[in-house]
Structure 1
Amino acid sequence: MKIGILTSGGDCPGLNAVIRGAVLKGIKAYGHTFVGFRDGWRGVVDGEVLELPREKVRGISKQGGTILGTSRTNPFDGPNGGAHNIKMTLVSLGIDALIAIGGEGTLAAAQRLSQEGLKIVGVPKTVDNDLAATDYTFGFDTAVQIATEAIDRLRTTGESHHRCMVAEVMGRHAGWIALHAGMAAGAHAILIPEQPVSAAQIATWVQEAQRRGRAPLVVVAEGFIEQGQEAAHSGRGLDTFGRPRLGGIGEKLAPEIEARTGIETRATVLGHIQRGGVPSAFDRVLATRLGMAAVDSVAHNRWGTMVTLKGTSIESIDFDTALGSLKTVPQERWDEASLLFG
């Protein structure tokens, strides 16, 4: 069987480990051959591929990014898009099945194409860890580690100048990165999309920390909505899917905190640093296992399904079950963390 692999949406540490795991198991266990589509769904629509022999994936699990490239292309757009055209492209290339690696948008497109008869298996990917159907997604552990290290560095300069430091991390709808990195770094306030908090409460936490002789540290997810506001802060227009481009809430909060507390306050946006660099050991292992499991799903004709981590086991669930609900930070995790604030 000839299998096509694509990585779509935002890049993420661990993507190359998925590719390697899939190719090695596919070749050794089943005798499959592989090609990779360039730049996600764009490569599928345009029929642009590169061969993936065993030699091509040697040593790539430790590399960040994706050797295939990625994009946010909608596979149903353009003259070559849509299920019928993509089927014809796959037939012309002699490709029997697809492994689609991506987040909710990528997997939603894979679901729709699967419903129209394409043979597809999905692999979940998001640094935000917000897919409800899997306990963890690869890339999250690396993003938390990167954010924690950066926040540790901000703390030392904040203490030197007796400043309040605000660190903005990723997290559009779910605050998992902020929660984990904030707890690991000992933040005095963690602000997440799931929990609206007033500016007055934030200032109180900051002042409590200062009174104990500490340089206050605030960690905020990009999707945090201040109490009284209707939507997350966004001043950069819309992305390709028509969603507001988030970012900048840290710069908005810093002057508010300074005005309310009188403490000099600085904000830093970590941004894409969290998605770059080499994956952690945990993410390399998880990504490799998911890639291997995806090939097993192909071998057993489990079309329209996604591989997922449940506890320490890799399982397979259908797209209908996997998609449609976000995994957000539950109240008990927020209550647990908030005892440490101030």
Structure 2
Amino acid sequence: MAKLNKVKTIAILTGGGDAPGLNAVIRAVVRTALGQGLTVWGIKNGFGGMVENQMIQLTDNSVAGILPRGGTMLGTTNRDNPFSYPKKQDGKIVYQDMSVQAMDNLRQAGIEALVVIGGDGTLKIAAEFYQMGLPVVGVPKTIDNDIPDTERTFGFDTAVGVATDALDRLHTTAESHHRVMVLEVMGRYAGWIALHAGMAGGADCILIPEIPFKTDSVIAKIKERQQRGRQFSLIVIAEGAHPQGGEISIARIVEGSHEKVRLGGIGEKLAREIEELTGMESRCTVLGHVQRGGTPTAFDRVLSTRYGVAAAQCVLDGAFGNMVALQKNQIIRVPIVDIAGKANNVTSDNELLTAGRAIGICFGD
């Protein structure tokens, strides 16, 4: 790899929710950059660490043994936006633009470029810093797989595997007790985890945000199975799914966060409704953060490593303002400004939807 620019010192930042594979990305960036003579710093605790000047130098020893570890060795937060940063003033929390201070902290540390690993909110902030003149490279991270212009975000494969394993386990107890088991999974406003896990785990109904569901359709599927002698049913529902004409279920509102609205509760609502309408005992299991914790799968380790190497290569090439992405099994570069603030959702012509309908899966419509 030839160094085509004069950048000698870079920093790495991880923002937003954790995802399996974060450490693998960090390791790959560090090893690639060090191999080309660069100095690498890690910014602790997301963009908050950039504002508060929390940095550590990263070496080969720093990243030794972290490939299979979940979480992020740098720490992360989804509450700290330097352009609207919480500060206590007269006993109250006020939000101030601390972006210039954050930039000054990097400059004083001799940091000339920043690799930002994060989801849509984090990458949107990265795009704003790039527009301020900071050389930035983005890496797409979210278990939700909802970032556009990339076929996969790392962490997604691990989350789907966890959800699929849960479905396998719920299948045996549902069949034994003649119950309807509802599994609520993450995904926010995208149904990728529910769709893939539901297909892999043999769900009878898969309910996703992109297809508002009719409870009558779900009930009809359960009764149709009963008529065929199947006295149990498995339903996967995304946390952002909602009934036709109904509202998304909100667990709580968190002020000061990139993601103020925390979704949740739709699975329990549906389970209660099914029990009332069918008389069948119905239970809901919410996987929650189990989906994004623990050891990443082999696929996510490899993808994360490829992303990390590609991000470091962007720095070496001076190709700033880009996010590395996976398309047709090739790692490419996509302008961050083209994807910042945008979402990737399941479309009506998705091949998995077509396959699911062909084998009799109910999508609630």
TM-score (norm 1): 0.96
User: Retained in 2: the 8 A contact 1:236–1:246?
Assistant: yes
Aligned position for 1:179? 195
Alignment deviations for residues 300-323 of structure 1 (CA, whole Å, 9 cap, x no partner):
112211111111111111112223
Residue 209 (structure 1) shift? 2.1
* Residue identity in the other structure for 2:82: P
Going from structure 1 to structure 2, the CA distance change for 1:237 and 1:323 (only over 3 Å counts) comes to: closer
* Residue identity in the other structure for 1:34: V
Aligned mates of 1:127, 1:20 — CA distance in 2: 19
In the alignment, which of 275, 278, 283 is matched to residue 266 of structure 1?
A: 283
Going from structure 1 to structure 2, the CA distance change for 1:6 and 1:81 (only over 3 Å counts) comes to: farther
Alignment deviations for residues 51-96 of structure 1 (CA, whole Å, 9 cap, x no partner):
2101111121110000000001112225785332122111211111
Going from structure 1 to structure 2, the CA distance change for 1:147 and 1:242 (only over 3 Å counts) comes to: closer
Aligned position for 1:337? 356
Aligned position for 1:137? 153
Is 1:52 paired with 2:58? yes
Residue 185 (structure 1) shift? 0.7
Aligned mates of 1:241, 1:51 — CA distance in 2: 27
Aligned position for 2:324? 307
Aligned position for 1:19? 26
Residue 43 (structure 1) shift? 0.7
SS at structure 1 position matched to 2:115: strand
Q: Which structure's residues are more often strand, by fraction? A: 2
Alignment deviations for residues 260-303 of structure 1 (CA, whole Å, 9 cap, x no partner):
11111000000000000100000000000101110111111122
Runs of 4+ in 1 over 6 A off after TM superposition: none
How many residues are matched? 340
Alignment deviations for residues 185-244 of structure 1 (CA, whole Å, 9 cap, x no partner):
110000000001111111111222233233200000000011121x31114234523632
User: Retained in 1: the 8 A contact 2:121–2:341?
Assistant: no
Deviates more, 1:11-20 or 1:317-326: 317-326
1:29-178 to 2 correspondences below 5 Å = 30-72=36-78, 73-76=80-83, 77-78=85-86, 82-178=98-194
SS at structure 1 position matched to 2:299: helix
In the alignment, which of 251, 254, 259 is matched to residue 268 of structure 2?
A: 251
SS at structure 1 position matched to 2:61: helix
User: Retained in 2: the 8 A contact 1:189–1:338?
Assistant: no
Aligned position for 2:236? 219
Is 1:7 paired with 2:27? no
Structure 1: which 5+ runs fail to align?
Answer: none
Sequence identity percentage = 49
User: Retained in 1: the 8 A contact 2:121–2:258?
Assistant: no
Aligned position for 2:335? 318
Deviates more, 1:123-132 or 1:314-323: 314-323
Aligned mates of 2:70, 2:317 — CA distance in 1: 30
Deviates more, 1:327-336 or 1:289-298: 327-336
SS at structure 2 position matched to 1:87: helix
1:189-208 to 2 correspondences below 5 Å = 189-208=205-224
Going from structure 1 to structure 2, the CA distance change for 1:242 and 1:40 (only over 3 Å counts) comes to: closer
SS at structure 2 position matched to 1:317: strand
Aligned mates of 1:159, 1:212 — CA distance in 2: 14
User: Retained in 2: the 8 A contact 1:14–1:65?
Assistant: yes
User: Retained in 1: the 8 A contact 2:51–2:99?
Assistant: no
* Residue identity in the other structure for 1:68: L
Going from structure 1 to structure 2, the CA distance change for 1:219 and 1:125 (only over 3 Å counts) comes to: same
Give RMSD over aligned pairs: 1.5
Going from structure 1 to structure 2, the CA distance change for 1:48 and 1:147 (only over 3 Å counts) comes to: same
Aligned mates of 1:168, 1:134 — CA distance in 2: 25
Deviates more, 1:104-113 or 1:304-313: 304-313
User: Retained in 2: the 8 A contact 1:16–1:61?
Assistant: yes
Going from structure 1 to structure 2, the CA distance change for 1:50 and 1:213 (only over 3 Å counts) comes to: farther
* Residue identity in the other structure for 1:143: A
Structure 2: which 5+ runs fail to align?
Answer: 1-7, 88-95
